[in-house]
Every structure is written in C-alpha cells, then in structure tokens.
Amino acid sequence: MDIYRLGDIYDPKALLRSLGVESGGVAIMANKMELFYILIKDLKAPAVNILKQDALSIGADLAVPSGVVNCEKPAYDCLLIGTKKHIEILSRKELAQPFGLKEVAKTLKRFLESKNYPIRIMGVINANDDSFYQKSRFVGDSAICACEKMIEEGATIVDIGAVSSRPRALSVSIEEEMSRIQPICDAIKAQKLYQKALFSIDGYTPSVVEYALKCGFGMVNDITGASDQKIIELAIEHNATLCIMHMQGTPQTMQHNPFYKDITAEVSAFFEERISKCEALGLRRDKIILDVGIGFGKSVAHNIRLLQNMRHFTSFGCELLVGASRKSMIDTIIPTLIEERLPGTLAIHLKALESGATIVRCHDVAAHFQAIKVWEAIQNEILD
C-alpha cells in the first residue's frame, strides 16, 4: 500500500472519474473539493452572528473579530470559509435572513456561476514611436509581418494601437492616430488577415475604432473602460467584443500617487457599473471582456492584490484579460531592464491564469505559447 498527499487539484471531476467514481458521486464529491475564501466587509453585527451559526451548522466557518457576540460594534469584517457545497447551501439559506444577509446570499450565488473559457494569447503591435518597449513598435509592412509572425507563433488575437498608453505618454491628435493606423487596417482588410485571427483595435477614439471595425477588426480594447457611449454603440453595430479596462486617471496622470481604500472592491464596483451601462445600451455580456488594468493607476501593491484576487472577477461571467508584459512592476520587485523582463512577465501571467484569467496580452507570443502549454499539461495530467 502506498499513501501520499496530492498537490493542487485543478480538475476535481477528472481526478474522481480516473478513480472510477460513479457519475452521481463525481458531482457530489467535486463540490466538496473546491474551497472558497470569501471576505465580507462591513456586515452588520447581528448578521455576522447569524452567518457564523449557519456556517458552523453545515461544517463551514466564519472567521470573525472578538466582540462580535456582544455586538460591541455596529458592523464587522469577516471571512467565510467553506467548500463549494457549503457556499451553495448558504446562498439559499441566507435568502430568508435579515440584516443584509439576503444580499450576501445573492452575491454567494454569483460566485458559483463563473464560466469556463479557453485560454487565448493576444499579441501586441504598437504602431507608434514611443511605446515603452521598443521591440513592440512597428509601422507599415513591418507591422503586417509582425502580425503574421505572432499568428504563426500561437496568437489567436492581435491587438494593434497607434497611441502609447505608458505613464506620462504624450497626447496624440486624432489625425496623427488615424494616419498611423489606417495603412495597417487597409492591409489587414486587403489580405483578409482577419480570417486567420481576431484583430483588436487598441483605442478609444470613435473615428479610429470605427475605421478598424470596418476593416474586419472584431474587438475593441478600450483603456478608458467604455467611458464613451459611442464606443459601446460601435461595438454593438459591428458585433464586436469590447474589452473594458480599469484605469485610475489618464496615462498622463495615472501613476501620480494612486490611492484606493480597497482596490478589489473599487475595481469590482467599476466593472459592475460599466457592464450595466453596456447591457442597458444592448451589448450582451458575452461580448464583454474585463481587464483590471495592471499598471494603470496602480502601485505595485495594488497590482499584486488584484492578481491575488483575480478569481473574484470571474463572478461577472466575462472573460478576463491580463496584460503585465514587461511592465515596471517587475523592475520594482527586482531591478530589471525592460529587455530582460520576460521571466517576470511569465510568472505574473501564469499566476493570473491560475486565478481565472483566460486572455494574456503579451509582446512575446512564442514564449507564452510554450509556457502555457507546459502549464496546461501540468494542470490536466491527473493519473498515469
């Protein structure tokens, strides 16, 4: 007889089936193998006591501060710990409880409804002369060659932008932006490259976005987070996907001492509001991608916290994009030249994938393709 402890189990159902567990038992047991940690802030004291007892009654638990039993304060932060099965039970049970627990129940149910999406690589093409990574800058025919190379290397999305969004980047006129992007869009249309991959326009100027969509682009990567209604309307008109990114401030101001009381909660509230805005105008949720905006109006601590809590954002039911390719947070953690930040980039992106992201925006497509294939093999290999 051999006994050993298993590592992280990424696909509980596959493991159970490999052991020969009956189909009915697979579903039941899989729900007991996934552990949830759910932080609830400012919950009314009576609600904390009720939730604590309800959690304990089914084998889950609620970590609470001292003084909760006597309701010494009006509200408390607490940590709910339980399996997927526990969360399912509480999402129903708390619907009948007062003191705000009905809203807690609705949120718990949403955490259970996240969807699975295939992993995709988005290659980056910068049609400008001031993006922070020099090797990502292309113009004219060189941009088309770079697109084709990225597709060959494994990119299923190619993101093309004509305006740098690096910190303190200079503003560019609409005419200049159009002059940079137009020949590339024309070539993609003429060569029908949009049949080989999904092309994304990295921009928020309506006239530029519209031109790209008319040339066969199928996605809008909007760093302003759908702030302009016209961009949403263009996505709807052309049946395009819209990526909503969170950014505090503008590229010119975003890194001037960014501050949040709770970055996860604030980014989540931002997505809630923007998704509602898009849906009200007629854009379906399955046409929305979310990007927490690593490095856009955030300190390294903010970026790390978002990566740690990436799983939370899967509750919106949208694909999650992560883009930290060669960014300065790597240099802050360990001083490194831009040209030497690929290892740090891969570490960040693989962590994001592990936490629920499914689209990786990067400069180095081939390296990411290899790393992701190995990572997937490690996750999917259950038993010999």
Rg (CA), the chain: 23
d(CA 379, CA 251): 37
Q: Does the active-site annotation cover 277? A: no
For residues 312-323, one letter each, b for 16 or more C-beta atoms within 10 angstroms of the residue's C-beta and e for the rest, the string is: bbbbbebbbbbb
**Sequence-distant (≥ 6) Cβ neighbours of residue 142 within 8 angstroms:** none
- Within the chain, residue ranges assigned H as helices are 12-18, 23-30, 45-57, 84-93, 101-111, 140-153, 174-191, 206-214, 229-237, 263-281, 300-308, 328-333, 342-354, 365-380
Q: Annotated catalytic residue: which of 120, 305, 326, 327?
A: 327
Instruction: Please choose, from the candidates 169, 140, 144, the residue with its C-alpha nearest in 3D space to the C-alpha of residue 158.
Output: 144
Alpha carbons within 13 angstroms on the beta-carbon side of residue 341 total 24
Closest CA to 86 of 162, 131, 33, 12: 33
Q: Is 298 a catalytic residue?
A: no
- Beta strands 75-83 and 120-126: pairing type? unpaired
Residues in the chain: 384
Dihedral angle over CA of 230, 231, 233, 236, nearest 10: 170
In the set 52, 120, 326, 361, the catalytic residue is 361
Annotated active-site positions, please?
327, 361
